[in-house]
A and B are shown apart, each in its own frame.
Chain A
Amino acid sequence: MECVVQGIIETQHVEALEILLQGLCGVQRERLMIHEICLKSGPHLGTVASEVRLLCDLEQSEPSWTVRHIGGAMRGAGADQVSVLVRSMVESKTSKNALRLFYALGYKLDHELLKVGFSFNFYRGAQITVTVASINKMLKLHATDEAVPVTPGIQLVEVTAPATSETYTEVASAMSSFCEYLAPLLHLSKPGVSTGVVPTAAAAAASLMSDGGGTTL
């Protein structure tokens, strides 16, 4: 299970966001280049249609693979009371043949993306990961060298934290508290809730860039 919020930011303000995150997290950023391959089950396979994502980390010297399943969002009063999306999520590290295996099992390619950017992973009431990345599509099958941005000039910011059915309210609270610090630059909300860029982003970014994040926003 994980808690997640998302938002968008203009590419011109990403550097300022990085400065802010560096100051808040106290850890080094990690570069990110993930080839995400989204597969869907064939027409008759499974009790219901299923989707699985294969993530290839291209930033490593030897590409490493993760298989991820994202389930449905939590519903009910508990879910409505938190400002983050709570959903089931299971992932497993695998060796390199996972894609061939899932194709052989009857899964088909739905779409693929290349995410390029950086992430911060830190503890602040919960184990939080902030990912800032441009989302790129490939013009040819699996051609990560020929990827182009899906939305030029805009990058996706995602904040996630692992949770359980017992801890999700604390995790959601920790995430929400953290996200308030980012409010001048971007608005983060549950995936699927469209927010757009924030009007204060330009001024906040300018402030951060002028003194490297020393100013309190």
Chain B
Amino acid sequence: MPVRSVLYWKPNQGNVMTNEEVMSKISECIETLHGVEDQECHCHACVTFYTPILRDERASFADLPQDFVGVLMMEQLNKQFFVMQSRWIVVEADSLILPLIEKLSSYKPKSYITLNGTLYKMGDFQIRLFKVLPDQGNLKGIIAEIEYLPISSIEQSKKIMEEMVDTLNELASKKSLEGHFVQAKANYAKYGLDDDYTSQHTAVQYAATSLTELIQSALRSHDN
């Protein structure tokens, strides 16, 4: 499948624009690149953060993972992905894994992030621009997913993806946006994923981006 690169918007220190204003400006940047909004396509994904359930209140979480994440993508509602960054694990399962996890009663959802977005078509590229919405609260961040349609090799598409990211950041700067897009860091080889792009690669990027977003959002809330 075509390669995708997931980016999160990192605002500069002291930025005064709201996320809604930034979102609107970024949409203008994409339209400057002749991106056309696909009115009929609503992009959606959900990242769930799980926490272990302990039988004994005195027991410790220490040996149990705190970064067990589930990823559900609208395009593949019959699939559920799990990612654990600290152990470089990604698993793809069918949707029955969710009631199975529930029956085990060993992990439960702690919080989740919803990504609601718009698809822009730009020739060989597609850009999905997502609002990051926590389970409680308002728009907390922005994620962009760039898809390059002709190529499924990550290595072969690397340069052109980087050029597109640079182009977007340049346009954002010209619009006086105080921040820039950062690519999600994902060492696919460590996850056992090869150069041919798959949905598992996307899940790994979403998990990495969502955790970074959560941390950034927490830091911004702290600063405020």
Contact = CB atoms under 8 A, between A and B. Distances in A.
Interface stretch (A6-14, A25-33, A100-108): A100-108
A104 B93 contact: no
A81 interface: no
Given A48-B55, A100-B87, A93 B104 contact: no
Contacts of B105: 46-48, 50
A92 B97 contact: yes
Main SS at interface, chain B: mixed
Interface string A69-107: 101000000000000000010111111111011001111
Interface residues of A, number: 29
Contacts of B91: 94-95, 97-98, 101
A44 B54 CA distance: 6
B191 to A, nearest CB: 8
Interface in B24-74: 52-56, 59-60, 63-65, 68
Contacts of B106: 41, 45-46, 50, 105-107
Nearest to B58: A44
A67 interface: yes
A56 interface: no
Contacts of B65: 104-105
Contacts of A100: 87, 89
B129 interface: no
Interface string B86-101: 0101111111110110
B133 interface: no
10 contacts: A41-B104, A44-B55, A44-B59, A45-B54, A45-B55, A46-B55, A47-B105, A92-B93, A94-B94, A97-B89
